[in-house]
Structures are given as structure tokens and as C-alpha cells.
Chain A
Amino acid sequence: MVTVLFYTLAAITLATTVLCLTRNNPVHAVLYLVQALFALALLYFMLGAPLLAAWQVILYAGAIMVLFLFVIMLFEPPVADKRTSGRLTHWFFPVMLGGLLLACGGALIAMDPAAKASLSSYWLTPRDYGRALFERYALAVEIISLILLFAAVGAFHLGRRYRSTTKEDVS
């Protein structure tokens, strides 16, 4: 039963990802990606990461994707690219590269005996999660918060609408 659920969710994730990447309208693409993220959150939950599943919904689907939607809707007229590399030569190398990458990865997974070991979910409660995070990786949390601060400052700097920076204008 659980196995069937896993493969169903995997199929949903893959299908929505492919649909997302083939849309011409970015708004539709983002909405499909949100659905893929929900399916991934359920997969995390099945693998035993309830807190991570909640963050996937709140942070990824809730915050990051809404940021994408804001930026897309800022543009007037809405962006939609008609020309998405229709020529065959554009498709040849990426598809060959991706296929080769997948073939190598699949061969490695097929050769590895550990890959056949069946997974059981490793349930990590929020309490254990918090203990592990703040006891051993407190420094990493600090560094991540600094990175977020730098990103916010950088985004503010880039998004500012500069007037002309001549001397007369300033004074």
C-alpha cells in the first residue's frame, strides 16, 4: 500500500515537473511547480521528515513560489516566450547530455548492492530535529542567517530605482 503511494507520488512529481518545464506561460509553470513541491512534501513525509514536509509547503510553495509569482506579475505586458528553442540542434546536446548522465547514474545505482536495501521511514520528530540542528550545527545556522541577510541587502541594492547619479542631481 505504502509502496503504491510512493510510486503514485513519484509519477505525479515527474509529470508536473515536465509539464512545468514545457509551459510557455511562466504563471502556469509556477503553479505546476507548486503542485510538484506538494507531491515532494508528501514524499518527505513518507520518508519520515514531517518537519521538512511542513517547511517544504510553507517555505518553498508558500514563500519562494509566491515571490516568483510576484516578479512575473510585476512585468507588464506579462512575459511569455514564444520561441523556446524550436530547432532540433538546440535539443540534441541537452537531451544527449541528460540521457548520458541518467544512464551513468542508473548504472551506478544498479551496480550498488546498497541501492537494493529497502528503506523504512526514519521518523525524526521536531524535538529531535531541533536538538540535532542546534546542538551540532549552530554555527551553520548562524552562517545561513548571515547569507540570508546578505541576500536581502543585495536584492534591495539591485532592485532600487536609481535616478541619474550626476552631481547636480545629488546636490
Chain B
Amino acid sequence: MIVPLGHVLILAGLLFVAGLAGVLLRRNLIMILIGVEIMLNAVSLTLVGASAYWRHPDGQLFALLLMAVAAAEVTVALALVIYLKRSRGTLDVNRFDGMKG
């Protein structure tokens, strides 16, 4: 592996910004969740790169914990998606403008 650390970081940054743009631009709730997933993966790539840079296992360990947290987040978020689809009949986030449940 002869890649500089900076290139791994730049790749992770590009992925993160792509996910952020997806979160900000898409109006479908499922696409917003997919954007969040992409951002989490970018962070995970950074952690693995840092683990290789410092020759230390902590980065890879934390990437696994991040994966578990992402699984928990997706579970709750998709349950909310189903709930919202049932109660409002749409997934367009522009239509979710009331506080009443």
C-alpha cells in the first residue's frame, strides 16, 4: 500500500460531502436515510485509515462500534418511516411540517 494518508482522507471527505448533499437536497425520507448511511461510511473509512497510519487497532475497533450504532439507527429510523407513511400517507419531508403526532 503506497497511498498517502491524505488521499484516503480526501476520498472520505468526498464521500461525506456527497452524503451531506444527498441529505440536504433529496426530499424523500428514504433517500435522506441513505445519505446518512453514506456519511457514516465515510467516517468509518477515515477510522480505518487512521488505524493504518498509527499502527494501532483502535480505529478498526471503533469502526465496528460505528457499524453497530448505524444498525440501531437504521432500525429506529425505518420504523419511523413506516409509522409516518401510515399516518401521513407520504414520505415527502416537506409535508411533515406539524408538531402534532
Contacts and interface: CB of A to CB of B under 8 A. Distances in A.
A36 B38 contact: yes
Interface residues of B, number: 69
Nearest to B17: A98
A32 to B, nearest CB: 9
Given A2-B1, A29-B34, A158 B76 contact: yes
Interface in B70-97: 70-76, 78-83, 85-86, 91-92
Interface string A86-126: 00001101110110011001100110101111111110100
A161 B45 CA distance: 39
A91 B96 CA distance: 21
Interface of B is mostly: helix
By secondary structure, the A interface counts as helix
Nearest to B16: A101
Contacts, number: 233
Interface in A123-171: 124, 128-129, 132-133, 137, 140, 144, 147-148, 150-152, 154-156, 158-159, 161
A112 B6 contact: yes
Given A20-B34, A59-B67, A91-B25, A119 B79 contact: no
Given A21-B22, A59-B71, A137 B79 contact: no
Interface of A: 2-3, 6, 10, 13-14, 17-18, 20-21, 26, 29-30, 33, 36-37, 40, 43-44, 46-49, 51-52, 55-56, 59-60, 63-64, 67-68, 71-72, 74-75, 79, 81, 83-85, 90-91, 93-95, 97-98, 101-102, 105-106, 109-110, 112, 114-122, 124, 128-129, 132-133, 137, 140, 144, 147-148, 150-152, 154-156, 158-159, 161
17 contacts: A3-B3, A13-B11, A14-B14, A21-B22, A40-B44, A43-B45, A47-B48, A60-B70, A68-B33, A81-B28, A115-B5, A116-B6, A118-B1, A147-B69, A148-B72, A155-B78, A158-B80
Interface of B: 1-11, 13-15, 17-22, 24-28, 30-31, 33-35, 37-38, 41, 44-45, 48-49, 51-53, 55-58, 60-61, 63-65, 67-76, 78-83, 85-86, 91-92
